[in-house]
Structure formats: C-alpha cells, structure tokens
Amino acid sequence: MSILAYIESKNKKPKKNSFEVVSYAKELSKKLSTELIVLTINIDNHSNLEKYGPNKIISVNDIALNNFDAKTYADVVSQVATKFSISHIVLGGGVDSKYMAPMLSVKLDAGYLSNVVELPSNVEPFTVKRTSFSNKSFCDASILSDNKIISLASNSFSTIENPSNPEIIDFQVKASNSNIKQNSIDLVQGKVTIADADVVVSAGRGLKGPENWSIIEDLAETLGAATACSKPVSDLGWRPHSEHVGQTGKPVSTNLYIAIGISGAIQHLAGVSSSKVKVVINSDPEAPFFKAADYGVVGDAFEVVPELNEKIKAFKAENN
C-alpha cells in the first residue's frame, strides 16, 4: 500500500502543476503513514521534484511514449500501480490526466474522484472535498473501493517543500500500441495558456468589437498573463472558444483574474469563483460582477485599461 503521484511533462520537464500534485501526495502519504512514489514519463531531470518529498521516483523513458495517448498512458500507469502495490493514485487537473483517469479507474477497479480541493477529512471511508455544480458549490465525497484515484482541481493546493533523497528507479514498460493516431498538433506560439497562467486578463462585450482587443493583449503581456473572454464574445466569434471562461467553457483557478467589460452572468462567475483575487473594471456600477470581486473600478475600459497598463509597466520597471 503506497501512494503514487503521476505528473505530466512538457518538453521533458515536469509541468507547472506537478509540484502541487507531489506536495499533496506527500501530505497524503504522511496521513496514511506510507511511502510516496512519483511516476515520471520521459522526464530528464528529477531534481525539482525531489524538493517535495518523494521516497521513490519511477522514471519511465520510452520514445513510444513521446506523444501523449490516453489509453497507452493509462496502461503504463496501471502497470506501475500493480507492480508497486499502489493503493492511492494522485493526479493533477490537466486535460491529459483527466482524459486518462477514467480509463485507469476501470483498469484498476478503482473509485475515482475529480476536482479535489483538500486533503481527505477522513481516511476510512476515504473522504475528500471536491468542487461541484461547476464551482457553484463543494461537496464531500467518499471512495468505497480498495484502490483509489483522485485528481486535484488546479491551483487548489500550495506547494510544500520537503526535501528528500529519493531512490530513482528506471522502469521498463511495455507500451501498448494505440488505435488512435496523432495527425498533427497546433499550439499557439508565444502566448501564456489559461492553464499555466498566474494571471488572466479577460474581457467581455464591453470591448465593443474584436478590433479593440489590443488593449487587453497589451495589459496581458505586461502582466505575463493569459487572455480570456466571456461566453457572448466567443459566441460572436470575436475570440476563439479556447478563451471562453465559464460554466460551459473553461474554469479559471488563477491567482489574479482581471475582468474587463464583463457584467458577470452567474455562469461566468461560477467559472472564475475559484480564482484567488478578482478585479473588475466596468463602466456600469450595477454590474453583478462587482458583488463577486475583491477590487473594483467603475470606468471606461478604453481609458482605464491603457492607463493601468502604463502604470503597471512603470511599477514593474521600478520593482525589478
């Protein structure tokens, strides 16, 4: 009975949320008085992970695993889980892990809970708090089966340093062939993604048209932020669907969310409710978003946003 944390990689390095996942799993392993094993696939350097306390790192390296394939990866994680007598698997909330997890749960006959936000409040039955109703509420849920899988909601758990000197185990797997072929991959270059961003600058119909988005992009660039938008804006085709934030779009759990010209429909508020600090800039003082935000500015976006951008630039120049 051990804990396995599987972390995603990008360009042979752990993805940003990996350290949260390992920190959570370490705390869990303390609670259950067992060891923590971290599984990496095609990661060169494990030194960053060692800061967060794994007892062992299982390092799988196989060129057949260069492209993520959910079924093949589920098979690999399942082989490792069986070999190392794993009872609990902890995953991050990335799209690849959430693609793989339900397949893995059937393979291992494990109960699976997603969007977990806290350490278990109870070990028997294993009970965790998770988000529900698209971030409009939380719930306590329990896993009844012997094998257990959880995936964490993004940005819900802080990293906790806990340096260790783990044993590194090179592990050979039999990567099964997938029936699904990757034809191509098209990544937006040079932009921060919503999943990776600490800050998100988001805008709505208050911007009046897609041609006015440069002020949003400029502010985002200054802050190293991702850009996002409201549902009407993506429905109108002003911005791509991938930027749509809300109940039927993406949830955003970032440290700072700046909403510009977004009135704050209940579906949008649900999507951003787990972001830590929310700033609203809107010309309408009655906009419902003001009731759900931490800081508010009533004003014309076309005046406030460029000025704010210049001031933040000056602030950053002074403070770096």
Partner 1 sequence: MMNILVCISCVPDTTSKINFTENDTEFDTNGVQFVINPNDEFGLTRAMWFKEQNDANVDVINVGEQENESVLRKALAIGADRAFRINKKASDSFQVAKLIANHIEGAQYDLIIAGRESIDYNGSMVPGMISELLNINFITNCVKLEINGQTVVADREIEGGIETLSCKLPIIIGGQKGLVEESDLKIPNMRGIMQSRQKPLEVVEPPEIQTKTTTNKFYKPEEKNEIKMVDSNDLDTLIDLLHNEAKVI
Interface positions, 234-293, toward partner 1 (CB under 8 A): 234-235, 241-242, 244, 247-249, 255-256, 265-267, 273, 276-277, 279-280, 290-293
Q: Which is nearer to partner 1, 1 or 315 (CB)?
A: 315
Joined together, the tokens standing for residue 285 give 């003082």
Cα torsion at 110, 167, 20, 176 (round to 10°)?
A: -50
Tallying the residues shown for the chain, one arrives at: 320
Does 105 participate in binding partner 1 (rule CB under 8 A)? Answer: yes
If we measure between CA atoms, which residue out of 318, 309, 302, 311 comes closest to residue 224? 309
* 103 membership: H or E segment, kind and range: helix 95-107
Does 177 participate in binding partner 1 (rule CB under 8 A)? Answer: no
Q: 3-class DSSP state for residue 282? A: strand
Q: How many residues bind partner 1 (CB under 8 A)?
A: 96
Q: Which is nearer to partner 1, 45 or 67 (CB)?
A: 67
Joined together, the tokens standing for residue 199 give 């800050």
Q: How far is the CB of 273 from partner 1 (least distance, A)?
A: 6
Residues 21 and 5 sit within 8 Å (Cβ to Cβ): yes
Does 70 participate in binding partner 1 (rule CB under 8 A)? Answer: yes
Q: Cβ neighbours of residue 287 under 8 Å, at least 6 residues apart?
A: 262, 263, 264, 280
Q: Which is nearer to partner 1, 167 or 236 (CB)?
A: 236
- CA-to-CA separations, 203 to 37, 88, 92, in angstroms, rounded: 42, 40, 28
Q: Which is nearer to partner 1, 65 or 292 (CB)?
A: 292
Cα–Cα distance for residue pair 41/82, rounded to 1 Å: 17
Q: Which is nearer to partner 1, 57 or 70 (CB)?
A: 70
Select the span of 28-36, 135-143, 157-165, 210-218 touching partner 1 (CB under 8 A): 135-143
Does 123 participate in binding partner 1 (rule CB under 8 A)? Answer: no
Joined together, the tokens standing for residue 49 give 């992970």
Does 103 participate in binding partner 1 (rule CB under 8 A)? Answer: yes
- Residue pointed to by tokens 């098209």: 186
Q: Which is nearer to partner 1, 36 or 227 (CB)?
A: 227
Does 95 participate in binding partner 1 (rule CB under 8 A)? Answer: yes
Q: Quick check: bond before 102 cis, omega within 30?
A: no
If we measure between CA atoms, which residue out of 16, 14, 23 comes closest to residue 52? 23
Q: Strand runs (DSSP E) across 189-312, as ranges? A: 199-203, 226-229, 256-260, 277-282, 295-298
144-163: which residues touch partner 1 (CB under 8 A)? 144-145
Q: Which is nearer to partner 1, 57 or 281 (CB)?
A: 281
Q: Which is nearer to partner 1, 46 or 191 (CB)?
A: 191
Select the span of 49-57, 159-167, 168-176, 310-318 touching partner 1 (CB under 8 A): 310-318
Sketch the per residue contact string, 18 through 47, with partner 1: x for CB under 8 A, - otherwise.
------------------------------
184-213: which residues touch partner 1 (CB under 8 A)? 184-188, 191, 193-196, 198-199
Q: How far is the CB of 158 from partner 1 (least distance, A)?
A: 13
Select the span of 30-38, 54-62, 106-114, 212-220 touching partner 1 (CB under 8 A): 106-114
